[in-house]
C-alpha cells in the first residue's frame, strides 16, 4: 500500500519541475530509492494522474487528472501540465513581483557579508540554477525522443543549451546543501576529496566551465569554499533558489531568470551606492537610449559595457518589434574583470551571443576593436574620470577634434565613440552635465569642433537622482556620423534640444526613474523630429513641433550665438502658461483687492496686539 503523503510529494515535486521530468532526475530530487519511486509512480499511472514518456530512462508527465489511463498522450497534455505546475507552485502568470520577493528572501540570508561580496555569491548561484534547469528540461525532451541521446553534449549545443556534467547539476547540489562534509571527485585533479557545500559549488562551476570552455572560460565565480563564507547561509540560499521554478517554456524561463538576474544586479548596485554605478546603468536610462536609437540591424558596441544592460535592452527592443536577434552583432569592452564576468553571465543566461572583451588597460590605452566601425554605440562611461591619461595617448588618431584634457575624460569618450561610428552610425552617450557647457582646459573648443563638424544630433537634459553613482544631474548626447539622410530626414545644420528635467518619479527617497510614458515621450519627440514626414505619419505620430519648456530644434547659427553651449534649457525656453480666459486687468484688479484685504487684516491684528499689551502694562 502506497502512502498518500508519498503520492502527494511525488506530484508536488513533479509540478515544481515543470510538470514533466525524466525518471532519474525526479527520483534523485525526491531522494527515494528505486523501489519506493517505482511503487508511487505505478500507482499514479494506474490512476491516470501521470503519463509515461519515451526515451532512455523514461520520463513522466502530469496528465489531465482522469480516472482511466489514456491510450495515447493527448495533444493538450503539455499545456495541462504547465497549468498544473503553475497551480502547484503558486505561479499563475502574475509573477511580476517575484524578483523583489526573491531578493528580499536572499538578502535576509546575507548576514554581515558586504553587498559587493554577496552579489557574486547570489548571482553565481542564480546562474547555476538556471543553466541546470535549462539542461534538465532539454534532457527530458531528449529522453522522450526515440533516437536522441540525452547524455550527448552535442544534443545540447544544437539547442543552444549549456551542457551540465552530473556533478554540477542542481539536484546534486540541493541533495548535499546541508551536509557538513561531502566526498566528491575534484574535476581538476580527478582525485577524490572531502569538502563542504562551498567546495562542491566551486567544483560544479569548474566542471561547467570545462564543459563549455569557448563561452564560459574564466567567467564563473569559484571561491565559495573560502573560510569567510558561512556554509549554512550557502545551504539556505540553495534551498531558497530550489523553490523557484525557472523552467517552463525555455524562452519564458530565460526571461524569468534574466529578470531575476537583472533585478539582483540593480538592488546590489543600490546597496553599493557610488560603486554600484560602476557596473550598472539604471534600466529606464538604458531603455531611453535604446528606444531613441532603435538598434534593429548592424553592429552594436559599448566601450565600457559594465554588466551588459545596453545589450540586454537592445535584444528586448528587437524582440518587441518582431525583429530577429541574428540581425545585430554585439561587441563590448570592460576594464574591470569582475564586472566583465557579470556581463558574460548576464548575456549567457539570456542566450545572447556577444564578443565581450576584457583587458586591464581599458578602451583608451588598448582598444580591442581599434579597426572596427559600428552602426550603433551606446555607453555610460564613468563621469569626469581624472586618472585616464597616459603619455602614449598624445597625438592619438581618435583626437581629430582636439586633444582631451588630461584631467577629465569626457571628451575622450565622445571622440573615441565618434571614431568608431560607421558612415551612417549613431550613438547615445551618458555624460555629466558639465560636458554641455564647460570651457576648462580646452573642452569648450573640442565641443565647438564637434558641433561645427555637425556630429551632434540631439541633447537631452536629465533630472537628478537617476543614478546610483551620483546625485548630480546628467545628460544624453546623441551623435551621428552623417546627418544627411540614412533613411531619415536631412538634419544637417540642426540640433534637437529636449529638457526632460521635470520628467520621472521618485521610487524611493533618493532615486528617480522614468516611466514608460516618459520614455515614449522623449523617444517619440526625437523620432518625429528626425523622421521623414511620410514615415512619421505612417508610424501614427504627429508632425514635430517645438514645445516651449520641453523641446526645440535649433540651427547651428543659434548654437553659435550661445557660444556653443549645449544646455537644453537655453534653447527650449519656458513652458507656456495655459490661458484661463481671465484678462490681465481683471486678474490685476482681483490681486489688488486681495492685497488690500490682507493689509486691513494686518492692521486689525496690530491694533489687537497693542490693546493686549496695554492691558498687561495696566495690570503691572
- C-alpha 200/C-alpha 320 separation (Å) is 40
Q: Summarize pLDDT for 320-350 with one digit per residue, the tens.
A: 777 787 889 999 999 988 889 888 988 887 7
> Residue 461: phi, psi to the nearest 5?
-85, 125
- The full set of domain ranges for the chain reads 4-89, 98-256, 279-572
| Closest CA relative to residue 280, chosen from 123, 490, 95, 79 | 123
Q: Which cell numbers hold the place of 409?
A: 575624460
Span 574-596, pLDDT tens digits:
765 444 444 566 557 667 777 87
Question: Sign of the C-alpha dihedral, residues 171, 173, 178, 184?
Answer: positive
Is residue 10 a contact partner of residue 30, using CB atoms and an 8 Å limit?
yes
Distances in Å between the alpha carbon of 218 and those of 129, 184, 261? Answer: 18, 22, 19
Decide the pairing of beta strands 354-358 and 328-334.
parallel
pLDDT, tens digit (0-9, with 9 covering 90-100), for 77-118 = 333 333 333 333 333 333 346 677 778 778 877 877 887 788
Better-scored residue on pLDDT, 5 or 370: 370
pLDDT in tens, 546-566: 999 999 999 999 999 999 999
Looking at residue 53, its pLDDT comes to: 56
With 90 as the cut, is the pLDDT of residue 358 above it? yes
Q: Could you read off the pLDDT of 264-295 as tens digits, one per residue?
A: 777 776 665 544 445 567 888 999 999 999 99
**pLDDT of 298 strictly over 70:** yes
Please report, for residues 195, 199, 342, the alpha-carbon distance to residue 203 in angstroms, rounded to integers and kept in the order given.
10, 6, 19
For the domain bounded by 98-256, which CATH number is listed? 1.20.1260.30
pLDDT tens column, 201-225: 999 999 999 999 988 989 999 999 9
For residue 562, which phi and psi values (nearest 5 degrees)? -100, 20
The predicted pLDDT at position 367 comes to 96
Q: Please give the grid coordinates belonging to residue 472.
A: 548630480
Question: What DSSP letter does each residue of 304-355 carry, written as one string?
Answer: T-TTSHHHHHHHHHHHHTT--GGGEEEEEEES-HHHHHHHHHHHHTTT--EE
Share of the chain above pLDDT 90, in %: 45
CB contact at 8 A, 475 and 462: yes
Three-state DSSP state, 62:
strand
Looking at residue 31, what is its pLDDT? Answer: 80
Cα distance between residue 369 and residue 416, in whole Å: 11
Reported as half-sphere exposure (CB side, CA atoms, 13 A), residue 220 has a value of 29
For residue 332, the cross-strand partners are 302, 356
Q: Which residues contact 347 (CB under 8 A, 6 or more apart)?
A: 308, 311, 312, 330, 353, 354, 356
Is residue 614 predicted with pLDDT exceeding 80? Answer: no
Which of these, 566, 558, 382, lies nearest to 461 by C-alpha position?
566
pLDDT tens, 453-481? Answer: 999 999 999 998 887 656 667 999 999 99
The stretch 351-369 carries a mean pLDDT of: 92
Q: Average pLDDT, whole number, for the chain?
A: 83
d(CA 581, CA 246): 59
Buried (b) or exposed (e) across 153-174, using 16+ Cβ within 10 A? Answer: eebbeeeebbbbbebbbbbbbb
User: Residue 67 — very low, low, confident or very high, per pLDDT cuts 50/70/90?
Assistant: very low
Beta strand ranges found along 367-473 (DSSP E)? 374-379, 421-432, 456-461
CA 45 to chain centre: 44
| 3-class secondary-structure state, position 196 | coil
Whether the Cβ atoms of residue 489 and residue 457 lie closer than 8 Å to each other: no
Domain 4-89 has CATH 1.10.10: yes
CATH 3.40.50.150 assigned to domain 279-572? The reply is yes
Amino acid at each position: 500500500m502506497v502512502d498518500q503523503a508519498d503520492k502527494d510529494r511525488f506530484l508536488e515535486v513533479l509540478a515544481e519541475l515543470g510538470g514533466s521530468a525524466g525518471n532519474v532526475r525526479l527520483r534523485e530530487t525526491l531522494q527515494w530509492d528505486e523501489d519506493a519511486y517505482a511503487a508511487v509512480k505505478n500507482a499514479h499511472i494506474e490512476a491516470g494522474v501521470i503519463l509515461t514518456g519515451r526515451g532512455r530512462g523514461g520520463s513522466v508527465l502530469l496528465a489531465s487528472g482522469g480516472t482511466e489511463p489514456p491510450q495515447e498522450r493527448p495533444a493538450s497534455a503539455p499545456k495541462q501540465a504547465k497549468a498544473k505546475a503553475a497551480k502547484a507552485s503558486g505561479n499563475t502568470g502574475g509573477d511580476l513581483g517575484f524578483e523583489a520577493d526573491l531578493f528580499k528572501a536572499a538578502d535576509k540570508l546575507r548576514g554581515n557579508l558586504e553587498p559587493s561580496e554577496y552579489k557574486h555569491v547570489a548571482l553565481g548561484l542564480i546562474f547555476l540554477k538556471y543553466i541546470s534547469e535549462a539542461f534538465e528540461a532539454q534532457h527530458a525532451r531528449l529522453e522522450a525522443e526515440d533516437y536522441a541521446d540525452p547524455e550527448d553534449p552535442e544534443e545540447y549545443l544544437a539547442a543552444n543549451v549549456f551542457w551540465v556534467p552530473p556533478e554540477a547539476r542542481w539536484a546534486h547540489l540541493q541533495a548535499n546543501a546541508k551536509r557538513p562534509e561531502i566526498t566528491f571527485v575534484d574535476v581538476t585533479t580527478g582525485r577524490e576529496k572531502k569538502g563542504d557545500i562551498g567546495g562542491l559549488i566551486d567544483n560544479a562551476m569548474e566542471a561547467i566551465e570545462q564543459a563549455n570552455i569557448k563561452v564560459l572560460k574564466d567567467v564563473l565565480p569559484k571561491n565559495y569554499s573560502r573560510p569567510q563564507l558561512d556554509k549554512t547561509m550557502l545551504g539556505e540560499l540553495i534551498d531558497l533558489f530550489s523553490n523557484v521554478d525557472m523552467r517552463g517554456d525555455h524562452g519564458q524561463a530565460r526571461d524569468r531568470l534574466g529578470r531575476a538576474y537583472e533585478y539582483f544586479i540593480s538592488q546590489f548596485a543600490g546597496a553599493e551606492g557610488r560603486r554600484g554605478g560602476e557596473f550598472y546603468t539604471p534600466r529606464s536610462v538604458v531603455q531611453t537610449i535604446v528606444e531613441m536609437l532603435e538598434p534593429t540591424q548592424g553592429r552594436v558596441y559599448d566601450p565600457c559595457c559594465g554588466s551588459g544592460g545596453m545589450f540586454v535592452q537592445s535584444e528586448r527592443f528587437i524582440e518587441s518589434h518582431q525583429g530577429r536577434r541574428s540581425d545585430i552583432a554585439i561587441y563590448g569592452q570592460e576594464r574591470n574583470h569582475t564586472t566583465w564576468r557579470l556581463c558574460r553571465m548576464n548575456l549567457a543566461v539570456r542566450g545572447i551571443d556577444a564578443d565581450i572583451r576584457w583587458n586591464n588597460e581599458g578602451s583608451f590605452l588598448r582598444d580591442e576593436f581599434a579597426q572596427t566601425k559600428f552602426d550603433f554605440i551606446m555607453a555610460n562611461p564613468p563621469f569626469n574620470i581624472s586618472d585616464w591619461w597616459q603619455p602614449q595617448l598624445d597625438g592619438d588618431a581618435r583626437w581629430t577634434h582636439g586633444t582631451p584634457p588630461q584631467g577629465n575624460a569626457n571628451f575622450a569618450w565622445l571622440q573615441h565613440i565618434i571614431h568608431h561610428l560607421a558612415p551612417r552610425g549613431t550613438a547615445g552617450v551618458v555624460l555629466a552635465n558639465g560636458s554641455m557647457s564647460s570651457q576648462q582646459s580646452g573642452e569648450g573648443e573640442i565641443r565647438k569642433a564637434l558641433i561645427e563638424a555637425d556630429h551632434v544630433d540631439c541633447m537631452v537634459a536629465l533630472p537628478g537622482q537617476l543614478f546610483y553613482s551620483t546625485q548630480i544631474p546628467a545628460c544624453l548626447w546623441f551623435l551621428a556620423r552623417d546627418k544627411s539622410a540614412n533613411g531619415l530626414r536631412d538634419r544637417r545644420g540642426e540640433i534637437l534640444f529636449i529638457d526632460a528635467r521635470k520628467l520621472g518619479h521618485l521610487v524611493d527617497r533618493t532615486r528617480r526613474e522614468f516611466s514608460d510614458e516618459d520614455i515614449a515621450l522623449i523617444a517619440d519627440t526625437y523620432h518625429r523630429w528626425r523622421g521623414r514626414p511620410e514615415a512619421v505619419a505612417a508610424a501614427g505620430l504627429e508632425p514635430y513641433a517645438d514645445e516651449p519648456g520641453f523641446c526645440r530644434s535649433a540651427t547651428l547659427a543659434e548654437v553659435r550665438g550661445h557660444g556653443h553651449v549645449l544646455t537644453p534649457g537655453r534653447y527650449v525656453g519656458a513652458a507656456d502658461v495655459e490661458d484661463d480666459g481671465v484678462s490681465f486687468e481683471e486678474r490685476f484688479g482681483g490681486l489688488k483687492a486681495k492685497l488690500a484685504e490682507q493689509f486691513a487684516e494686518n492692521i486689525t491684528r496690530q491694533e489687537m496686539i497693542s490693546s493686549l499689551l496695554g492691558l498687561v502694562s495696566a495690570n503691572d
